[in-house]
Amino acid sequence: MSLYYEDEYVSLYHGDCLEEWAWLDAHVLITDPPYGRNWKSGSGMTNAEGRGKGSKAHGGILNDKDTTARDAALDLWGPHKPAIVFGDPLIQQPPRAVQALVYIKPIDAGIKGARAGFRRDVEMVYLVNPWTSGVGGSSSALHSSGLVAGPRGIATRYGHPHAKPVDVLQSLIARSPEGVIADPFAGSGSTLVAAAEVGRKAIGVELDEAYCEKIANRLSAQPLVRFS
């Protein structure tokens, strides 16, 4: 693993998070790991590129054949520090999950593969390990103000088919304990960008160098002045 990008807030490593462990020095884990559903996509009907073109086929996500990579990373993280882990509703929840939230995607999501007239437009967000408990609080249904597809959608802008919106991640960060954020499956880099924009330090790891480049470009394009 090698340090690929670094600025005042973010350190991004290119490599396998199961082999090098700089991210384990963080205090809160927030990640969108391979779900274990062996996802692939043919060319589609969504206008993901704009200019009237449909979406391109995608060969899949590394280590997505099962939940081995996700669970191994959580084993390394251990049982004592809080973690937030995205997942598929039909795939087994991560070990030590204590509560499940729901990310309700924007109105243009989940069109392909709809069954019985229902879009595939929700994902799970699991709270793992110890979290403070109490009475009341915010809704466990998370929403984004952005779109998924089309030339303005997050998948197009961030260059990753499963990119998560920054506003959803900032909501999760706002409810997390203080300290450095870790994302060992950085993907499009949304967790790292969200952390930096609110003045939180973050450590990311990404196995695919092509996505490391996209993340570095996103981070380097961020405003020099960030607000905490």
In tens, the pLDDT along 151-202 reads 667 777 777 777 899 999 999 999 999 999 999 999 999 999 999 999 999 9
49: pLDDT strictly greater than 50: no
The pLDDT, as a whole number, for residue 157 is 78
Candidate CATH numbers 3.90.550.10, 3.40.50.920, 3.40.50.150, 3.30.70.580; the one for domain 2-220: 3.40.50.150
Q: Sketch the domain layout of the chain as residue ranges.
A: 2-220
Count other Cβ atoms within 10 Å, centred on residue 193: 22
Mean pLDDT of the residues in the chain: 87
The pLDDT, as a whole number, for residue 198 is 96
Q: Region 61-89: what's the mean pLDDT?
A: 94
Q: Region 114-140: what's the mean pLDDT?
A: 94
Match 């993901």 to its residue by tokens.
48
Q: Which residues contact 219 (CB under 8 A, 6 or more apart)?
A: 5, 7, 10, 12, 189, 192, 193, 196
The pLDDT, as a whole number, for residue 48 is 44
Residue 127 pairs in a beta bridge with: 84, 99
Long-range contacts of 55-61 (CB under 8 A, 24+ apart): 55/149, 58/161, 61/34, 61/161, 61/162
Question: For the ranges 40-49, 66-75, 121-130, which has the lowest average pLDDT?
Answer: 40-49
